[in-house]
Amino acid sequence: MYLRRSPRRLRTGVTLLSLAALLVSGCSAEGSTSSAGSTAVAALAALPRATPSGLSPYYGQKLSWRGCGVTGFECATMKAPLDYAEPGAGDVRLAVARKKATGRGKRLGSLLVNPGGPGGSAVGYLQQYAGIGYPAEIRARYDMVAVDPRGVARSEPVECLDGREMDAYAQTDTTPDGQRETGELVDAYKEFAQGCGAHSPRLLRHVSTVEAARDMDILRAVLGDRKLTYVGASYGTFLGATYAGLFPDRVGRLVLDGAMDPSLPARRLNLDQTAGFETAFQSFAKDCVRQPDCPLGGKGAPPAKVGENLKAFFRKLDAQPIPTGDPDGRKLGEALATTGVIAAMYDESTWAQLREALTSAMKENDGAGLLVLSDSYYERDADGRYANLMAANAAVNCLDLPAAFATPDQVEKALPSFEKASPVFGEGLAWASLNCAYWPVRPTGEPHRIEARGAAPIVVVGTTRDPATPYRWARSLSRQLASARLLTYEGDGHTAYGRGSACIDSTIDTYLLHGTPPAEGKRCT
């Protein structure tokens, strides 16, 4: 399904998500929590404290730092075992970047950051945002560090389709009408999966979140830190929580912002995220009709009517795509338009851009604005090249959990529940949840709780109207983690830190600088 990732990507002009990711879901804070079902799944077991002898060469390696071509940053390559069960079976090479602490005060160590995805480049996030945009006092006291997880960006990226093939894939109709269109969607998923299997056969079995978390522990040791200090957003919270579960005694100051719930199966995750996007759309709709340029309804129009108007527009595009001026000849059909709208749900600062794009498409027959939003989500550049975001996203998700659906018939039966969760997006998001059914590698993970007993206090952050990581997930994760403190942001958008709330920012900064977690039940606006 759609990605769990930091909205700052869109802010800085880089991007957001995709129609064939995996995860989905999201209900409001008032809905029932998932914690009731959490007791039925096992807890992630901590690894032995002693480092296995076969891993000693990795933990003892020295990084050779060099210039990155980005002022103020250094880069290096770290080795990790391809297969932790057989450390002698080969290596995977991981890209690491850092910006050293700039202040004269006592250095607090390394602060590792991850923006989410899965598939988002942590190195890119560090160089484009965290290393220059985090509070000055944080950057003064910490070496800011990032590692692209295995299979992502600069770390032996998983490859699946070329640019032209990805163009076709992104335009595949995910609201099929009849058997022919259903067959075309299934064929697209199969082609994508087969491409991944053909281009990345060695790595595809070893890009799980557990393996990426173990890589982070090697990096912690190589950097000379006794404990890990970490800020993870969106999927980065799953990665950070997994680290805590595996290495609770090595947890330093962990911030998990826009938290995921590891206890849920893929279908429930997808259903929850579908409801989360509906929650975000309701907020957008209420705001839209208060603006003079809303193309989806006049002043006072109820959100349900705004949604009906958008759905009617999507149906028109399904029957007749409109021009975009794209040099490669792409037109705006329902699939690309839906992705463009969902991309704008991640951050309320993008709502004005969405209104303008919808106005151009609906009233001027010009789909360029929505195509820009969709391309930003897919990380497609002006030359038609795609980052490996979508490939890595599917590779990690399809390995971490069994598929949400195994057949189109299962999707058909589940459509009513998805359409109830979101009348606007439910049908498309249900069909998007089918992508892992055809994956060439069997999953190695299962739903599980993460307790991390014995860990230092961990700050879990949830946003009440988060579209991609619903607030209920933060509540559930905070109840699973033995040492968690839940910090709530009452607002819109995906994640909370660095998005304009002085209360959130100061609370997290105090924790990172002084180790003081927020009070139980702290809420911010």
Q: Answer yes or no: is pLDDT of 74 > 90.
A: yes
pLDDT of residue 1: 57
pLDDT of residue 103: 84
* Candidate list 283, 478, 483, 494, residue with the active-site label: 494
Instruction: Verify whether residue 466 is a known catalytic residue.
Output: yes
Q: Answer yes or no: is pLDDT of 3 > 80.
A: no
Encoded tokens for 377? 């989500």
Confidence of residue 385 (pLDDT cuts 50, 70, 90): very high
pLDDT of residue 2: 62
Which helix (H) or strand (E) element contains residue 395? helix 389-400
By the 8 A CB rule, do 333 and 318 touch? yes
pTM: 0.93
* Candidate list 234, 283, 374, 376, residue with the active-site label: 234
Instruction: Verify whether residue 234 is a known catalytic residue.
Output: yes
pLDDT of residue 104: 80
pLDDT of residue 197: 96
Q: Answer yes or no: is pLDDT of 222 > 70.
A: yes
Q: Answer yes or no: is pLDDT of 349 > 50.
A: yes
Closest CA to 142 of 97, 105, 114, 94: 105
Between CA 397 and CA 77 the distance in angstroms is 25
Over its C-alpha atoms, the chain yields an Rg (Å, rounded) of 22
pLDDT of residue 106: 85
Confidence of residue 13 (pLDDT cuts 50, 70, 90): very low
Rounded (10°) CA dihedral 338, 344, 350, 351: 60
For residue 462, the cross-strand partners are 488
Closest CA to 145 of 67, 230, 255, 251: 230
By the 8 A CB rule, do 75 and 198 touch? no
Q: Answer yes or no: is pLDDT of 20 > 50.
A: no
pLDDT in tens, 126-137: 999 999 999 999
pLDDT of residue 9: 40
Encoded tokens for 37? 């079902």
CA distances from 312 to 97, 274, 424 (A): 47, 19, 10
Closest CA to 493 of 522, 461, 518, 521: 461
Token pair 């942590």 in the structure block, residue:
122
Taken as a whole, the chain contains a residue count of: 525
Q: Answer yes or no: is pLDDT of 359 > 50.
A: yes
Q: 468-499: b or e for each residue (b if 16 or more CB lie within 10 Å)?
A: bbbbbbbbbbbbbbebbbbbbbbbbbbbbbbb
By the 8 A CB rule, do 9 and 15 touch? yes
Instruction: Verify whether residue 376 is a known catalytic residue.
Output: no
Q: Answer yes or no: is pLDDT of 27 > 70.
A: no
- The percentage of residues in the chain with a pLDDT greater than 90, rounded to a whole number, is 91
pLDDT in tens, 151-207: 999 999 999 999 999 999 999 999 999 999 999 999 999 999 999 999 999 999 999
**Mean pLDDT of the 12-41 span:** 37
